[in-house]
Each structure stands twice: as structure tokens, then as C-alpha cells.
Amino acid sequence: MRPRNDCTPLLASLLMACATVLPAAAQTADTGAAPRAGVYLPEFFRAAAPANAYDMVLRLPGFSLVEADADVRGYAGASGNVLFDGARPTSKREDVSQQLKRIPAGAVERIELIYAGTPGVDMGGYAVLANVVRHREASTEWAVEAGAVAATNGWTAPQGQLEYGRRWNDNALDLSLKLEPELDDDTGRGHISTRELENGESERSAWDTRTTKQNTEAGVSWRQPLAAGRLTLTANLRGEDTRTRSTLSGGEEDERISEDEDYRETELAARYVRQFAGRTTVEAMASRQRGDLQSEEVSQEGEDHERFRQDTDTGETIGRIELTHAHNDKLSLLGGIEAAYNFLDGNSQLEENGAPVFLPGSRVRVEEQRAEASAGLAWRPAEAWTLEAGMRLEQSKISQTGDSALERRFTYPKPRVAVRWTPSERNQWRLAISREVGQLDFEDFAASASLEGGTVSAGNAELQPDRSWRSVLGWEHHFNEDAALTLNWTHDRISDVVDRVLVVDGDDVFDAPGNIGDGRRDTLALELATPLDAWGLRGFHLRTSLLYRQSRVTDPVTGEQRGISEEKPFEGEIELQQELPTLRMNWGVQLEHIAERETKYRYDRITRESEAMGWTLFAERRTGEHWRVRAEATDLFGRGFREEREKWEGTRADGASNEVELRKRVSPGFVGVTVRRSVGG
């Protein structure tokens, strides 16, 4: 069944959700301790009985967790919006949510919401940060979590996690081990139908595909005083093994596809923070990451045999120093410098019936040397007004060797100005204008292929980063201490949009990533968090996150206006949760992937993908002080996926398409149960 893309029911539910805050504005929530000046004490979260700091952060009104972006090279633009004891995480590759989950709720002294303009704080471009402050007393905590997950198609797997933490004399040691299996939502059963538009002939094949992942992770962190400052050292080892098996049957000839992908990553990082005279903070960090990816995909269809191999090594080394000076309670000055070295060494091979197939960019090594200097200020000229202004200057050199040799240098100034107006305790307005420069994905320099998807992409050594002028207007309204609504509108004017282009190499024609000219993007985001006690739903709490996106660019093949490839026009998530203190449990339902769809453009193909809404029903019960049992059920009746591929014999500029391929499948649902035993905290 085709997933619905009609947003009318969703908009209606959104209006109803917004309506819940009207009575909430008049009620006095029984939260135990109302926050003052953005400080939330443990009593504020007591009714929700959080297990860890992650549960607490999710309940912060007007705040949405943003993870660090590991794909962004360097550190300046990759950090998330959570601080730990006033400092950013040392690792940018470990999920902030996982770090929060390792902090027991009992170890949290308070959580602070820090707004732009706060003296002596580098906001990193965010309007608001959450600072999780832990108790300083000596303590030892450990936790063991074990469970299993089972899918309706018969797949089962164990999962587990081990955590240990000790704090004494301002020293801290944290250890973690994690095993997390995953049945990817690319899994499912369905069919593939192909129809020739000229003669009306059609073919239908049964489609059965399964993708499983095994994620493993081990980490250690050490923190100690050093020279009147604080030193933090971290080391992480991560692995991800992916196995895909697909079968197409019922057509002219059966086809079997197998893909094995193994990824290993190591990361070492250090951070040193020191304050001088209580007003100046110096922060230095260094990190080194290495990754290795090996994959092989094999396709067998009758007598035809295809094989694609890929071996890629990646690495990143970063050094950064940052200074923040609070001149007085109204003016802060910031400055920093960062240097980074990145590389990708890729080797890919495509064979058809044992014969090699030439791919541009099949052997490539890409290196980047990048330096960035930054300076800025935060000024509060009046009680209700805050001004932020800054300039970052980026210089980089990208060199490529292998199938083609090329060296390029880039220099980009990146100014930013932001104004915040707080006319009352309940309302805040924000306006920001900035120059943004995208980062090139090194994998776009190398060739890639998907035998199951029937796509081959060439590497493109001529890629340039996209650049945009970004304007952001935001409004945050607090109905009470536990209910908030946030609206943000973002407008991007983009130069050199990165999309898909046609690459001609002699008699061969390939699709590849490339720059396609200027474009624009408008985004409207809504965040709502509110209790529902005023509606008679005692103990219920609603969180809603909705995003509407529209983009425009000129298609390089047809010259017509269209959206940017792979951008989703709409994304949505709604969570309804109830706390039952007398039963020592909480339960809820989460709706995800609401009305999600996207379109991909290649020179000879348009792919339209959509998926049905997903749901998860969960319940968690606390037994005693140290035991928790959690059960989840997700998409038990399956979730539908639809992919339509409209194909052209030549290019999309040649007129009408000649073939339409329709792929439909239903992914299995699954259930999971975990038992957690904790001590300390």
C-alpha cells in the first residue's frame, strides 16, 4: 500500500497540539521546583523519574538536543549543543545522547540553559546550550544493561551495555562497552514492477531483502586537575558490520545480491580548560581519528555476474585553541584558531563477468590542510537586548592524486551577526544573518556503485563547496515553567549547490556529484513541549517536532526549476508520554517519519521515495532503587516503503521517459526488552 503524503491530518493534529498549551498557560504545574534563570534542579524532573541525564535533557522546555556532526571536518562547526560541567565533549564522534545516558540522574546536581550573550560562554553558533553539572562528591557508579530484540520476520539478536564511573578528588574515570544489533529499515519483502512505456510490456519480480548491522563500541575517559586547569583524555574504538542479502525471483531470471561491509574506527582526544582571574577561559584540544572501510557487493543474474569492491581509509587530525574573556557582565570577547588535516585513500573496482569496468575516480587519494581563525563578541547593551557578532576566516588546500591529479586552494570569510530580544520572561525573539560554507564530502571524489540499486556514480575532482547567506528568525514562548513553543524560519541563498551532474569520459557517460549553480532553501521548524494535565490527562507530556522545507534550483539537464536532490519537504515526530508515580512506571508512544518523502535526480533518472509513518510503543518500570525493565514494540504490523524510478533512454532532456520501475516493500516490525541494573549515583 502506498504511504500517504497528505499532510492535512497532520496539520490538524498540529493545531490540536498547539491548542493544548492554551490551558497549560493558565495552569500551575506541580513540578516541585520551578526553574529560575534557566537553572533546573533535580526536583523539577522528579515526577518523570528519569534514569539518567538524557531523560532529564529531553524534559527541558524550549530545548532540542542537537548531536555533534561527525561528518563535518574540523571541530568548530561540528559540536553539539550540550556542555558537560561547562565544557564541550572531547569527542565529536560519540553521540551526545550516549554520553548523557551514562550519567545517572542521581549524579546530576543541576542543568542550566545558557542563552546567547551569557558572559564568558562561546555559544558555537547556537541560540541556547544545555549545561549538565554533576555532583563533585566522591562516588562510584556502575550499570549493566542486557536484553534482546526480535523482529516479526524471525530475526533475533542480543544486546547489552556495561558502564562504570568513579569520581574522587576532582578526578573522574569513565568506562563503557556497548553491543547494539540493528535490523535496518532497508529490510523487507515486496515486489519490483517494470513497465515499458512504448509497448506497454511489464515484468514483476518478488523482492526479499534483509540488512543487519552489528554495532560495537568501547570507550574510556579520564579527567583530572592540571596546572590550575582541567585535563580530559578520551579514547574510543568503534566497529560496524553490515550484511545485506537480497533476492529477486519470478522474472525472466532470478537475481541474488550479497553485500558485506566492515568499518573500524579509532579516536584519541585531549582537552585542557583553564580559567584566569575568573573572567578569562582558555580551552585547547587535539584529536586524531582513523577509519577503515572494506566492502564487497556481488550480483548473480543467470549467467551474468557483477562484483564491486571498495577499500577506503580515512583520517582526521585536529588542533584547536580558544580564548573567551568576559570584559564585564555585559561584554564578552572570543577568539580562536584551528588547524586540521584530513585524508581519504580510496580504491574501488567494478567487474562485469570478470572483466574490469573503468570508473572515473576509482583510485583516488584526497588530502586537505585547513586553518580557521575566528574572533567575535557578545554584548548586552540593555537588559532585554543581546548582540553577537563574529568573523571566521577559513583557508584550505585540497590536493588529489590517483586517476587524476589536482590541487586547489580556497579562502572563505564567514561573518555572522545575531540579535536577541527578550521583551518579557515568556517571550524571546532571535534574528541571525551569517555566511555559511559547506564542506566537501571526500567520498564524492571517489567512484561508488550499488548493484542492488542499479546505480554507478563516478568521482568528481572538480567539486567546490556550496556557499550560502543564511537568515534565521526565531521565536520562543514559555507558557509556564514546563511548556514552551519554538518557531524558527531559515532562508538560505546558495551558490554552487552540490547536486548531481553528467560526466562524459570519452564514449562513456556517468552520473556524479557536482555543482549545478545557484539555489535557495526555506525551512520552517516547530518545537512544542507541554504537559496535558489541564485537559484531564494527568501525568501526560507531549513533545512535537515538525519541519517544513522547500528548495529551488535549476536542473542542469532540463533547465527547469526543481527541488534540491535528496531533501525531504517534511519531517515530523510526535511523542506522548505518561508518568505513573504510584506504579513506578512510565509509558508512551512515539510517531516518526511523518509524511516523509524525497526525490533524487540523475541525468537519466528521477527517483521518488516515500515511506509510511513509523510508531513505537514503550513502557518502563522501576523496581527498587536499582532495577529498570523497559519493553518496546515498533511497527508490529510492518511499515511500507515505496520507490518509483522514472528512466530515460538518453537524458531527461530528450523528451518523455521510456520506462517506469516501481519498488514496494514492507519492513518487519520488532519488539525489544532490556533489563538495567545500576549501583551508585
User: How confident is the model at residue 365, as a pLDDT?
Assistant: 93
Which phi and psi (to 5°) does residue 35 adopt? -70, 150
Q: Provide the CA 26 distance to its chain's centre, in angstroms.
A: 36
Check whether 13 has a pLDDT greater than 50: no
Per-residue pLDDT band for 625 (boundaries 50, 70, 90) equals confident
pLDDT for residue 27: 38
pLDDT band at 37 (very low <50, low <70, confident <90, very high): low
| Contacting residues for 246 by C-beta, under 8 A, at least 6 apart | 207, 208, 209, 210, 256, 257, 258, 452
The pLDDT assigned to 667 comes to 98
Give percent above pLDDT 90 in the chain: 69
Mean pLDDT of the region 440-450: 82
Q: CA 30 to CA 530: how far, in whole Å?
A: 13
CA–CA separation, 210 and 667 (whole Å): 9
* Ranges 69-83, 177-191, 423-437: which has the least confidence: 69-83
Residue type, 372: E
Report how far residue 196's alpha carbon sits from residue 140's, in angstroms, rounded to the nearest whole number: 67
pLDDT digits (tens, 9 = 90+) for 211-240: 999 999 999 999 999 999 999 999 999 999
CA-CA distance, 605 to 611, in Å (whole number)? 20
- Nine-digit cell string for 671: 519488539
SS3 at position 66 = coil
C-alpha–C-alpha distance, residues 349 and 360, integer Å: 11
Q: Please list, residue by residue across 196-233, b when 16 or more beta carbons sit within 10 angstroms of its beta carbon and e when fewer do.
A: eeeeeeeeebebbbbbbbbbebebebebeeeeeebbbe
> pLDDT at position 188, please?
97
Look up the pTM and report it. 0.88
Q: What is the pLDDT of residue 71?
A: 67
Tens digit of each residue's pLDDT (9 = 90 or more) over 321-369: 999 999 998 999 999 999 999 999 999 999 999 999 888 778 989 999 9
Helices of type H across 20-115: 21-26, 53-58, 96-101
Name the grid cell of 370.
Answer: 585547513
The phi and psi torsions of 25 (rounded to 5 degrees) equal: -65, -25
3-state SS record for 615-638:
EEEEEEEEECCCEEEEEEEECCCC
Average pLDDT in the 392-419 region? Answer: 92
Q: Residue 31's pLDDT is what?
A: 35
- The pLDDT tens digits for 125-162 are 888 999 999 888 888 889 999 999 999 999 999 999 99
> In the prediction, which pLDDT does 456 show?
76
CA distance linking residue 486 with residue 472, whole number of Å: 13
Q: What percent of the chain has pLDDT over 70?
A: 94
User: 676: which DSSP letter?
Assistant: E
Cα three-residue angle 285-223-63, rounded to 5 degrees: 70
pLDDT at 421 over 70: yes
pLDDT at 287 over 70: yes
Task: Measure the CA–CA gap between 670 and 637, rounded to whole angstroms.
Answer: 9
pLDDT band at 681 (very low <50, low <70, confident <90, very high): low
